[in-house]
Amino acid sequence: PLAIIKDALADMPHDHVPTAADWRNFTDAWTGMLNERIMSLTQLRDQIVSCIGCGCLSLEECPLRNPMDELGRSGPGPRRLNNR
């Protein structure tokens, strides 16, 4: 978000135009954060399809919201009903 850029530039004097070295320092700090956000959004994109597959959108059972859910690892839908 723009607030992150604003915070990064807050320490710089207002009459100073950022140099290439300044931008390198900023981007070095942002690279890890951006990579984490990209990975998180990629996982969300890949997992949301299976969540929509069952239609429950349960905050307690959904593997998106409850990653340690044993039944969620078996796939979407009513896993206990399917095993009977």
pLDDT band (50, 70, 90) for residue 20: very high
How confident is the model over 31-71, as pLDDT tens digits? 888 899 999 999 888 777 655 555 565 655 565 565 566 66
**Mean pLDDT, rounded, for 20-39:** 87
How confident is the model over 2-18, as pLDDT tens digits? 887 788 778 888 888 88
Q: Which residues contact 42 (CB under 8 A, 6 or more apart)?
A: none
Residue 56: closest CA among 27, 81, 35: 81
Q: What's the confidence (pLDDT) of residue 63?
A: 57
